[in-house]
Amino acid sequence: KNEVEQSPQNLTAQEGEFITINCSYSVGISALHWLQQHPGGGIVSLFMLSSGKKKHGRLIATINIQEKHSSLHITASHPRDSAVYICAVNNFGNEKLTFGTGTRLTIIP
Amino acid sequence: KAGVTQTPRYLIKTRGQQVTLSCSPISGHRSVSWYQQTPGQGLQFLFEYFSETQRNKGNFPGRFSGRQFSNSRSEMNVSTLELGDSALYLCASSLAAPQETQYFGPGTRLLVL
């Protein structure tokens, strides 16, 4: 079992829909990251959080430390949101980043 | 501020050769981490450097090594290349620690023939 599990693996939605991507982890962590990767490889950090909730534009990230679970929400989705979204955690103690396998999101106009 | 830069962007090598990849972090960032991304294994942590010292290492063979210079620029080296080393190699920098926001470079795409 992977230390970081994401669901769903693939998600296709219509423009305007509300999107939720989930991340569960099994280890103690000091921080959790949500990353976005577009075709071509470039990775952008969307959020880094260790508790609570963060919002940036149409994106919202939440984390529940007790349940070892985080969600990434996209409101009013747009075709430019189409990308792979990756959850990663810093293992508590050694701080190594462990990555989920990613969620491929496709937004259809 | 300039972002993280990596050189070269693309590289083709043959089995048995060695390769050196370079990463220049954002000015003022002292922590540099390296990652390997393959279709089969996804993203995996290679190592992290801070102030010219390797602070953490992932589960990769000794053929993978790295170093960091006094200006925080970092290099990674892979010796005796194998076909399975074909991957996208990404570096990321942060101010001082990997549990801070990571800023990724565009990556070096390595193909081993």
Amino acid at B27: S
Residues 6+ positions from B40 with CB-CB distance below 8 Å: none
pLDDT tops 80 at residue B73: yes
**Chain centre distance of CA A100:** 9
| Nearest in space to B31 (alpha carbons), one of B10, B52, B46 | B52
Pairing of strands B108-112, B10-13: parallel
Residues B81 and A99: their CA atoms lie apart, in Å, by 25
Kindly report, residue by residue over A29-88, the tens digit of the pLDDT: 999 999 999 987 789 999 999 999 999 999 999 999 999 999 999 999 999 999 999 999
How large a percentage of chain B has pLDDT more than 70?
Answer: 99
Q: Do B42 and A97 touch (CB under 8 A)?
A: no
Give how far A23 is from chain B: nearest CA, Å.
16
What integer is the mean pLDDT of B88-99? 91
pLDDT of residue A11: 97
pLDDT of residue A40: 77
Instruction: Out of B92, B99, B107, name the one closest to residue A41 (CB).
Output: B107
Amino acid at B61: P
pLDDT of residue B22: 98
pLDDT of residue A1: 62
Amino acid at A108: I
pLDDT of residue B113: 97
Q: Is B51 left (phi over 0), alpha (psi -120 to 50) or beta?
A: left
Best B9, B10, B32, B45 member to test A by mutation, with max A CBs in 10 Å, is B45
Is the Cβ–Cβ distance between B47 and B54 less than 8 Å?
Answer: yes
For the beta carbon of residue B98, count every other beta carbon within 10 angstroms. 26
Give the end-to-end CA distance of chain A in Å, rounded to a whole number.
36
pLDDT of residue B100: 86
Residues B25 and B91: their CA atoms lie apart, in Å, by 8
Q: Chain A residues within 8 A (CB-CB) of chain B?
A: 30-31, 33, 35, 41-45, 48, 50, 86, 88, 90, 94-102
pLDDT of residue A64: 96
| Nearest in space to B90 (alpha carbons), one of B81, B82, B100, B102 | B102
How many CA atoms are closer than 13 Å to the CA of A36, on its beta-carbon side? 16
What integer is the mean pLDDT of A5-17? 97
